Structure 1
Amino acid sequence: MRQLPLARRGERLSVLCLGAHSDDIEIGAGGTILSLIAEGVLLDVHWCVLSAPGVRAREANESAMAFLEGAASCKIELAEFEDSYFPSQTREIKQWLTALRDRISPGVIFTHARDDAHQDHREVNRLTTNIFRNHLVLEYEIPKWDGDLTQHNTYVPLTAAVMDRKVQLLLEHFGTQRSKDWFDELTFKGLARLRGMECRAAERFAEAFTSRKLTLAIG
């Protein structure tokens, strides 16, 4: 399988991470972010959580800071759109994301999957791909009770050390989620092991994404 580098050591890469809820980015793309930093990529990250009220805001901010330790720069923005009702807030969320687009032009965007079973996640994807039309968008996955996992076409292999660090940070920073029966080490490592198998990752783990449109340069 041919590997196309997202960025190499010493290169600068601007990244926009979008999540509906305070743990989404970490679950979906946390290992990729940790890997880019560990590999020496100069990462400029704009980290946006659209629904992070109350104690979830503290969790989101502290977790983001931990995952982004070592990044060249980072900016964390937390909004307070109502959880579970994103489709009814489309106009307001679109205005928020449009204002964000007018301020930044990322090299890659990590966001939710188009066919995610959670209505908030689907709405974030729909608006992201509508507003950021000329950007590389990588759609991440969130395991859940609904069982909506599907086939992907893009993989980022993770080292065992990065996988361990991702799980450690998730369990450390999201105390409000630890009571959920799916929020545990076995879920996160099990999914990453399957994705690692699919792409033959050297250390067995990977995160999977979907890319809807990609331009390959020749010469």
Structure 2
Amino acid sequence: MKLDILAIGVHPDDVELGCSGTIASAVAEGKKVGIVDLTQGELGTRGTVDTRYAEAATAAKILGVAVRDNLKMADGFFQNDEAHQRLVIAAIRKYQPDIILCNAPEDRHPDHGRSAKLVSDAAFLSGLRKITTNSDGLIQEAWRPKYVFHYIQDRFIQPSFVVDISAHFDTKINSILAYTTQFNSPSTDEPQTYISSPQFLETVKARAMMLGKRIGVQYAEGFISEKVIGVSSFDTFVQNVT
């Protein structure tokens, strides 16, 4: 299955928090989008591996993505080494995305920045034909995506560009709330965490509003690009009221 966009998150819910509005927008445009989670989020304070899988499946259905996989790396302890790079390379070659969306290059959770570098390195190496990988017993062809974009997460990083998600903001919030063990669930006996309070979701909304204001729309998501973005026409630009 060839995808137009592959969104990669180190933990289930990273993609929903970081770029689910963009995903929903792309799906509405008819693009084929998939999600790959690197870990099962097994070190999370709340919930279990089983509940995270169920929540991730629900979120994927809300977003309308074509596929969601989990590479089952060790939460908190995976490394940017050959073994882990080969896992990501195999996923990239399996889905042949033109665009990869992945974690922020620097963030509050150390897994985020480490996975950003892992995915970025794997995306380059995936284009080298002398690196061999296989899937279902078949040798995979080399494939290098055209772009790797990093979504902004907890810490604010100046974006290279922002995407208008105004029409899909409710879908973004619903995909986040699919993680019922993680977000805004006051009836649970599990410990409160940094992300479990209603106030955390307000910061997600505020970030989207702030980024939207910068391009004259209601809500937006920001991305960091590893290379300069080119345009072929001034018609590409969204009107900016600032």
TM-score, structure 2 normalization:
0.72
Alignment partner, residue 79 of structure 1: 71
Q: Deviations over 1:173-214 (max 9, x none)?
A: 11121253535431221110111122222xx21001111214
Alignment partner, residue 100 of structure 1: 91
Alignment partner, residue 207 of structure 1: 221
Counterpart residue type for residue 193 of structure 2: K
1:193 aligns with 2:209: yes
TM-score, structure 1 normalization:
0.79
Give structure 2 stretches of 5+ with no counterpart: 41-48, 125-143, 184-191, 234-242
Separation in 2, partners of 1:85, 1:120: 8
Counterparts in 2 of 1:96-135, with a 5 A limit?
A: 96-133=87-124, 134=144, 135=146
- 1:13: how far off? 6.7
Separation in 2, partners of 1:131, 1:218: 29
Alignment partner, residue 148 of structure 2: 137
Aligned residues: 193
- Answer yes or no: is the 8 Å Cα contact 1:86–1:119 preserved in 2: no
Q: Deviations over 1:1-26 (max 9, x none)?
A: xxxxxxxxxxx971111000110111
Bigger radius of gyration: 2
Query: 1:77/1:217 Cα in 2 relative to 1: closer, same or farther (>3 Å)?
Result: same
1:182 aligns with 2:228: no
- 1:105: how far off? 2.0
Q: Deviations over 1:109-151 (max 9, x none)?
A: 11012122322111221121112134211110222xxxx2121
Alignment partner, residue 36 of structure 2: 48
Alignment partner, residue 23 of structure 1: 13
- 1:64: how far off? 1.2
Query: 1:59/1:141 Cα in 2 relative to 1: closer, same or farther (>3 Å)?
Result: same
CA RMSD of aligned residues (A): 2.3
- Answer yes or no: is the 8 Å Cα contact 2:62–2:171 preserved in 1: no
Give structure 1 stretches of 5+ with no counterpart: 1-11
Secondary structure of 1:114's match? coil
Q: Deviations over 1:34-53 (max 9, x none)?
A: 12233xx2221221011123
Secondary structure of 1:42's match? coil
1:156 to 163, 169, 178: 163
| Structure number with higher strand proportion | 1
Secondary structure of 2:101's match? strand
1:167 aligns with 2:162: no
Name segments (4+ residues, structure 1) moved above 4 Å.
Answer: none
Secondary structure of 1:86's match? coil
Separation in 2, partners of 1:99, 1:169: 27
